[in-house]
Amino acid sequence: MKEIIEADNELKEEILKKFSPKREASELLAASYERLGYESKYERVNGCGTFLEFRQPVSDNDKKWRLHSANFCRDRLCPLCSMRRTYKIFGQISQIMNVIEDKYAFIFLTLTVPNCDAETLYKTLNNMQEGFRKFIKYKQIKRAVKGNFKSFEITRNKKNGTYHPHIHDILAVNKNYFNSRDYIKRDDWLKMWQKAMKNPSITQVDVRKCKSKGNKEGEAAAKSLRSAVAEVAKYSVKSVDYLIPNDPVLTDDIVFTLSAALNGKRLCSFSGVFEEGRKKLKLDDFENGDLIHIDNERLRSDVAYMIRRYSWSCGAYKLTEQKIETSVEIELIESEDI
């Protein structure tokens, strides 16, 4: 009984503190899309997350509630979908690193460029994508790096309205990298990034060693690795940067800029041993794939489940249905999904 009560409390807290604030933010984005005349975007985002269905095994020691069904829109700027993507990316990178960490060490690299204005953001992102393609192929880097996960992040300076696009990158290197001739000094990372971008005015790169979970420093090492994964897993833009309370004009201006700049761009990617690990684990695409079963767990068809369905109404999620579903019903639903 204690486990059931705790699981119920966890579900209520998850809905209240995670899903509800993001759904509220999604309504603000939908309103902006409507004002901008983006009718199809408005309709998709406005209908995002209007229902959430959670399932819990009836006769099982595992009493955790898991999201099983929802209507997510997958819009690039949707706060609700961005939250799910972040969780998914974090989980996928963590799984891959668990698979390959016995053979490799990891570096966390951040590549920056000078801030740009709204008019040049699209071009700046294009230049950074092209620059990174050159950068990662330089002989010194190609010899040292065995694979990577790269993601873009874009922040906005609230004081002057400029944008700060930057790249987060986790790199896999051989275990002996830090004591080998393949080791790359920080100044060399900077020089190669300047060369790739054809911009000597770039003054910053940040490069850090990610301590392995097996490191003798124990929890400190694990925290270092989790922090790096969390940083690189952050989705490209934060809703607090483009949804400005009580200022629809500024909100619309930023949403218009980001929608245009991000259109058609692949903002995250795997390569080398990271891509091999992704294929080995049979992980789906985090951009266009499943945003519901983000932990890669599927319901078993040999047990019955308690079902709770929440619907969004008047600014809050309300429990609208609760029932028990038998294994036969589950099999029918799964076959229909396929």
For the chain, give the mean pLDDT.
87
Q: What's this model's pTM, rounded to 2 decimal places?
A: 0.86
Is residue 270 within 8 Å of 149, Cβ to Cβ? yes
CB atoms closer than 10 angstroms to residue 29:
25
DSSP secondary structure, 77-130, as one string: T-HHHHHHHHHHHHHHHHHHHHHHTTTEEEEEEEEE---B-GGGHHHHHHHHHH
The rounded Cα 143 to chain-centroid distance in angstroms is 29
Closest CA to 153 of 217, 238, 87, 59: 238
Tell me the two tokens of residue 222: 């694990």
- 243-263 pLDDT, tens digit per residue, is 998 999 999 999 999 999 998
* Predicted local confidence at residue 335, as pLDDT: 41
CB atoms closer than 10 angstroms to residue 122:
17
Is residue 136 within 8 Å of 198, Cβ to Cβ? no
pLDDT band at 326; cut points 50, 70, 90? low
Closest CA to 225 of 209, 249, 243: 209
Alpha carbons 318 and 329: distance in angstroms, whole number: 24
DSSP secondary structure, 238-265, as one string: -HHHH--TT-HHHHHHHHHHHHHHHTT-
- 99-119 pLDDT, tens digit per residue, is 898 999 999 999 999 999 999
Alpha carbons 167 and 268: distance in angstroms, whole number: 10
Is residue 317 within 8 Å of 15, Cβ to Cβ? yes
Q: Would you kindly state where each structural domain of the chain is located, as residue ranges?
A: 1-73+300-338, 81-289
Which residues in 198-244 belong to E strands, given as ranges? Answer: 205-210
The most confident of 21-35, 76-90, 281-295, by mean pLDDT: 21-35
End-to-end CA distance of the chain: 35
> Is the pLDDT assigned to residue 334 strictly greater than 50?
no
